């Protein structure tokens, strides 16, 4: 006598296929060109785009400052006064001690 047709028996998944499938899935996720590496590359690309935008803004600001230094005498004067401590011959400069603790080590 023959065995009745068994759907379960005919389409049974062999267990020895499980290991190669797991290896393939592991390589697809973790390999050199895997999904995780692609995701990290995408994130790095987004971070670099943000940084490029920030650098473009800073570059625009610096170009404006360069143009002002080339053409605007007030900007040059302001910079010379702040950075170099320059004054006009007819100006009187008042210098105040820095605020904070009063008294020095010599006074004590």
- CA Rg value for the chain: 37
Q: Lowest-confidence range among 18-22, 40-44, 74-78, 91-95? A: 18-22
To which residue do tokens 């900007």 refer? 75
Summarised one tens digit per residue, pLDDT across range 30-61 is 777 777 788 899 999 999 999 999 999 999 99
Question: Is 79 exposed, middle or buried, given 0-12, 13-18 or 19+ CB atoms closer than 10 A?
Answer: middle
Token digits of residue 64: 């404006």
Give the distance, in angstroms, between the CA of residue 74 and the centroid of all CA atoms in the same chain: 36
Give the pLDDT confidence score for residue 104 in this predicted structure.
58
Gap between the Cα atoms of 41 and 38, Å rounded: 5
- pTM above 0.75? no
């Amino acid at each position: 006598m023959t065995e009745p047709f068994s759907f379960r028996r005919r389409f049974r998944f062999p267990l020895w296929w499980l290991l190669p499938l797991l290896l393939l899935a592991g390589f697809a996720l973790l390999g050199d060109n895997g999904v995780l590496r692609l995701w990290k590359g995408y994130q790095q690309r987004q971070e670099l785009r943000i940084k490029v935008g920030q650098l473009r803004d800073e570059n625009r600001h610096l170009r404006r400052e360069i143009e002002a230094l080339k053409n605007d005498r007030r900007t040059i004067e302001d910079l010379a006064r702040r950075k170099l401590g320059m004054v006009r011959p007819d100006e009187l400069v008042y210098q105040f001690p820095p605020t904070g603790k009063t008294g020095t080590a010599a006074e004590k």
